[in-house]
Structure 1
Amino acid sequence: MSMPLVQIPAAPDLVDQVYRALLDAISSGSLAPGERLTQEDIARRLNVSRQPVLQALRLLKKDGFVHDAPGRGVWVAPLDVEWTRKVYQVRGALDMLAARLAAAQCFRIDPKLIERGRRAARGRSVEAMLDADMAFHQAIYAASGNALIGQSADHHWRHLRRAMGAVLQSATQRESLWDEHQSIADAIASGDADGAARLSNDHGAEASANLGRRLAERLNSPALSTSTNALSGDIR
């Protein structure tokens, strides 16, 4: 006779919540490059125990967002222009493949995604801009019919989200990016696989160049934010 199993109430993974909270804070600059982090301080500020914090920090270190600090704790990894360029190269190849496959199916991207992006570009919320941009590209990944593309791109997007978050507040051509997105969407919908791939490649190359230039300017600016006030709240 098999042993009966008691149902376990569904609950979000606490380690993943802590990881996401820390990654969001690092991406937004609330946890600045070079800032030291300790398990005790993070646990207190997020109102959680030290164990999920320890596991989340291990994942962040594996992913390259934090490094071991002298003594105890870790520190937030610096932004690296050259590393960001290399990440864009890989993501660009994935985006081209996804656009080509989606165009083969004449996939029509939801116009609301474009509208959402334009609204975000006119606003002041960097998080909203990043979320809209990711949602557009993820729609193309899903439309490609190859789940490996989205899975592979996810890791690279985490690093690009951080670099993009560092410069978007001062960017002046936010909405023109959505003109490029619209052109890509139109090419995909019309079944123009070569055109969709070319536009996607041009979009990624230009974004990489602009981001690298602005990121270099920001890293050389004495006004680089060191605020740490945004990491707070009760995670459940």
Structure 2
Amino acid sequence: MVEQVTEELRRSILSGALEPGQEYSLRELAGMLEVSFIPVREALRSLESEGLVHNRPGRSAMVTPLDLDDLQGIYRLRRAIEPEIARRSCAVISDEALDAAEADAAAFGDEAHGMADIYEDHHGFHLSLLAPAASAWDIRVLTTLWRAGERYIRIGFGRLDPDPAEHQRRGQAHLDLVAAFRTRDPERVAAAIEEHLARNERIALGALAGPAQGAGSTASQ
């Protein structure tokens, strides 16, 4: 039950159904989900560790507001971790794993699928490239960072979904990552990951700046 409640609350936060900066009582959340206080309280503790809520004294929690410093902190940590793992992973990842990642990357260019449709597969894609050299702790930390940044990415890239050319760019950006891994060159791979993250961050920053700037960006996640 706790896992189900956690997943439902996480989904509602990431989709914006539970709005950033809004405070909700445990009674209110339990009523929405038709469960008791206990699984809601436990779920909120897990979500606080992911940076998605701030638990208040008493029986309430606030959805973490979207924040520029928060976003930049997430990407600063990602840039410190992901290129280093990628340097090691490109030497040991199998050709079969790269073939599977390439097929996934190509699917990201499907115009029928928006960011909300592909987000979980997108996580899987990046994890498949890094997992051969990632420890269990690496994966825990990366998953936390990816989830913390998900709201920004969904907003920023969701604004670009109406542009058919964006889907092509999105697919190509991920095909380029696979191509870099196929070179087995650690420095080339690290540079590709760093460029990918820099583009992501610019799009997410545009989401915070508002519709005008976000819609005018043209990078791919």
Please classify the TM superposition score into its range, dividing by the shorter chain length. Answer: 0.7 to 0.9
Query: 5+ residue gaps in structure 2?
Result: 215-221
Whether 1:177 and 2:179 are equivalent positions in the alignment is no
Q: Tell me what 2:3 maps to.
A: 16
Alpha-carbon separation, structure 1, partners of 2:67 and 2:7:
21
Q: Tell me what 2:204 maps to.
A: 211
Q: Identity of aligned pairs, percent?
A: 25
Alignment of 1:109-148 (within 5 A): 109=98, 110=100, 111-119=102-110, 122-148=111-137
Q: Which amino acid counterpart does residue 45 of structure 1 have in structure 2?
A: M
Q: 1:176 to 1:66 in 2, by over 3 A?
A: same
1:28 is displaced (CA, Å) by 1.0
Total equivalences in the alignment: 206
1:106 is displaced (CA, Å) by 5.1
Q: 1:93 to 1:181 in 2, by over 3 A?
A: farther
Q: Which amino acid counterpart does residue 26 of structure 1 have in structure 2?
A: I
Whether 1:150 and 2:139 are equivalent positions in the alignment is yes
1:116 is displaced (CA, Å) by 3.0
Q: Which amino acid counterpart does residue 116 of structure 1 have in structure 2?
A: A
Alpha-carbon separation, structure 2, partners of 1:164 and 1:86:
14
Alignment of 1:3-82 (within 5 A): 14-68=1-55, 73-82=60-69
Structure number with higher helix proportion? 2
Alpha-carbon separation, structure 2, partners of 1:22 and 1:125:
22
Q: Which amino acid counterpart does residue 195 of structure 2 have in structure 1?
A: D
1:218 is displaced (CA, Å) by 4.7
- Show CA shifts across 1:140-192 (max 9, x none): 12122533322220110111112112222212534313312211211212312
TM-score w.r.t. the length of structure 1 is 0.77
Q: Which amino acid counterpart does residue 44 of structure 2 have in structure 1?
A: L
Are the equivalent residues in 1 in contact too, given 2:30–2:37 (CA < 8 A)?
A: yes
Q: 1:147 to 1:189 in 2, by over 3 A?
A: farther
Query: 5+ residue gaps in structure 1?
Result: 1-13, 222-236
TM-score w.r.t. the length of structure 2 is 0.82
Q: Tell me what 1:84 maps to.
A: 71
Alpha-carbon separation, structure 1, partners of 2:130 and 2:22:
35
- Show CA shifts across 1:58-94 (max 9, x none): 2223433222459852221210122111101211222
Q: Tell me what 2:180 maps to.
A: 187
Q: Which amino acid counterpart does residue 137 of structure 1 have in structure 2?
A: H
Q: 1:147 to 1:60 in 2, by over 3 A?
A: closer
1:196 is displaced (CA, Å) by 0.9
Are the equivalent residues in 2 in contact too, given 1:61–1:67 (CA < 8 A)?
A: yes
Structure 1 stretch displaced more, 109-118 or 47-56: 109-118
Structure with bigger gyration radius: 1
Are the equivalent residues in 2 in contact too, given 1:102–1:143 (CA < 8 A)?
A: yes
1:199 is displaced (CA, Å) by 0.7
Are the equivalent residues in 2 in contact too, given 1:92–1:201 (CA < 8 A)?
A: yes
**Residue aligned with 1:118, SS:** coil
Q: 1:83 to 1:99 in 2, by over 3 A?
A: same
1:45 is displaced (CA, Å) by 2.1
Q: 1:40 to 1:203 in 2, by over 3 A?
A: same
Instruction: Output the aligned Cα RMSD.
Output: 2.5
Q: Which amino acid counterpart does residue 157 of structure 1 have in structure 2?
A: W
